[in-house]
Amino acid sequence: MLLCGVDEAGRGSVIGPLVVAGIMIKKSKTRNLDEIGVRDSKKLTRKKRNALFYEILDIAEFTCVYKIGPKEIDESVLRNNLNKLEGRVMANIINHLEGDIAYIDSCDVNIERYTMLLRSHLNPYNSNVKIFAMHKADILNIAVSAASIIAKVIRDKEIENLQEQFRNINIGSGYPADRRTMEFINNLLQEKNNFPDFIRRSWSPVKNILEKKQKKIYDFF
């Protein structure tokens, strides 16, 4: 029996990509994940996640990772179909893994609707896979927990790579609740009057900064 776990990292961020990861593992090896301490990535330290990352790769049969860039995210948000974009990517991962059962952390409040969305994007030869979408799957299912770690570590690396471009400025975690991130974005707009491609323009905190900037310009004239 081959089990798949699929989860994402970075959905709520205003900087960088949304990373979706999936693993396929033999059912008999799920206890190995438990033995090495696999848990929901949010409950682990960064150091522990990084250590588990390579152990998970060794235990899993296959892994699959998609990175969805800010531009594609913005386009989906403007069309109000970010869930559909994420569902399509998760279904593609399930298609690549070709497991018997797939456990998915649902981003839609309506689990039945999200399950139908996933199924609509499955390849015909993969139509027999059993799909279990659920809320808090990264806590309830250890295969999804492992996928959440893979996604989170890769997402953190993406932010590290961005940080290297701004050595003298701390860009923070990339999330709007992070004061350092919002100060970075605000200062960037003041200096350059536009945002680079790694910033999600469709997110409300970023749109608010843009609107304030435009208001100041109008007030000047």
Rounded CA separation 168/75 (Å): 31
Least confident of 52-61, 75-84, 98-107, 193-202: 193-202
0.75 exceeded by pTM: yes
Domains of the chain: 2-162 (3.30.420.10), 168-216 (1.10.10.460)
DSSP for 25-59, written as a single string: EEGGGHHHHHHTT---GGGS-HHHHHHHHHHHHHH
pLDDT digits (tens, 9 = 90+) for 120-155: 999 988 888 999 999 999 999 999 999 999 999 999
